Amino acid sequence: MNFVDEVTMAVKAGDGGRGCVSFLREKFRPWGGPNGGNGGNGGDVILRVDPQRNTLLDLAHRHHAKAARGEHGRGKDQHGKNAKSLILSVPAGTIARDMESGEILADLRAVGQQVVVAHGGKGGRGNASFATSTNRAPRFAQPGLPGETRQLQLELRLLADVGLVGFPNVGKSTLISAVSAARPRVADFPFTTLVPHLGVVRYGDEGSFVMADVPGLIEGAHAGHGLGVRFLRHLSRTSILVHLLDISDPACDPYADYRVINRELAAFESTLARRPQIVAVTKADLPITRDRFPEVREVFARHEKILHLISAVTGEGKQELVRAIAHLLEQRQHRMDDEGETEGSSP
């Protein structure tokens, strides 16, 4: 399935139905009076969170969405029916913006949450509504009001507790497949991961958190280099980051790589670089990784950074890493509860 996380489309709410001009005509009531009914209201355009959706793919090729018009009023005081609303299903984490004003119309996160992005027009009043003691036979009615038209931009930002970051091929996809039921494509070449993946990681008796595997970053990602720029925004809602390092190449400088990734995070969104991080060295099953680890650990220790050593292949260090993530998430949640903050409140 294709992953689509940004869509632009035009939405048009339904117009209101016309009011009716009509008079009662019966054999023995030649002056029966006006009986034109009101028009029905036009349908709204509504965005609603659907738990079965995890991408905006269904809306990607729908450049226009139009709700139905309200029925026109009829004689004999018959009012037109209100039109049904047009409901567009979106995944949790969708942000809706008005393209012209840039205004954020809604940040939809909870299942079933919905918002009206275009209101239907009100139906016109029939001539029966205008009858008075001084004007007993009005010969006019109102037209229905037009429904709202809006140019809409939808942007999906994944809802995850933990985001995996690092250069391509550091083992993010392998790790998420080892600790959750997610099965991203894994291969030994750059940019194997082309779309974000979510996995639910369970720990203890009832504990769990959602982990996101975001395509690998490279230097200059915030400026459009590589694939990362398209997916950096998916990290904005995470509570913590797990920064993975591959030290199996003797020519690489792990601490320099660590700083490059953090510069990219800061350049994209200043708060990302300040997000709590757990740093883990992957591929512990390789001899070169074990040989270099003591030296690399000492370098990071000088900068007050603790390293975890893991192997998603053998499972070494996996449970310890999961416990460390869970502990940090609980600490962060308690701190935010004390401070009265809402996590990920910034769109």
Q: Report the Cα 300 to chain-centroid distance in Å.
A: 35
Q: Where are the domains of the chain?
A: 1-156, 162-339
Distance CA 316, CA 50 (A): 38
Res. 75 pLDDT band, cuts 50 70 90: very high
Query: Residue 170 — left, alpha, or beta (φ > 0 → left; ψ -120 to 50 → alpha)?
Result: alpha
Among 36-40, 49-53, 91-95, 260-264, the range with the most confident prediction by mean pLDDT is 36-40
pLDDT of residue 4: 82
Cα 7 to Cα 60, 175, 219, 247, 264: the distances in Å are 6, 30, 27, 39, 25
pLDDT at 211 over 70: yes
Task: Report the pLDDT averaged over residues 258-284.
Answer: 89
Res. 222 pLDDT band, cuts 50 70 90: very low
Q: What is 162-339's CATH number?
A: 3.40.50.300
pLDDT at 212 over 90: no
Task: Report the pLDDT averaged over residues 155-184.
Answer: 83
Distance CA 126, CA 131 (A): 10
Task: Report the pLDDT averaged over residues 16-28.
Answer: 89
Distance CA 15, CA 121 (A): 5
Which residue shows structure tokens 């689509």? 4
Res. 295 pLDDT band, cuts 50 70 90: very high
Cα 179 to Cα 73, 247, 316: the distances in Å are 61, 21, 12
Fold topology of 1-156: Spo0b-associated Gtp-binding Protein; Chain: A, (2.70.210)
High-pLDDT (> 70) share of the chain, %: 87
Same fold yes or no, 1-156 and 162-339 = no
φ, ψ dihedrals at 153, nearest 5°: -120, 125
pLDDT of residue 229: 56
In sequence order, the β-bridge partners of residue 241 are 163, 277
Cα 94 to Cα 129, 206, 267: the distances in Å are 43, 28, 23
pLDDT of residue 104: 94
Cα 235 to Cα 41, 232, 271, 307: the distances in Å are 42, 6, 11, 21
Q: Write the DSSP string, 42-88.
A: PPPEEEEE-TT--SSHHHHT--EEEPPPPPPPBTTTBPPPPPPPEEE
Strands across the sheet containing 307-309: 197-203, 207-213, 162-165, 240-245, 277-281, 307-309
* Whole-number average pLDDT of the chain: 86
Whether pTM exceeds 0.85: no
Which has more confidence, 128 or 230?
128
Res. 22 pLDDT band, cuts 50 70 90: very high
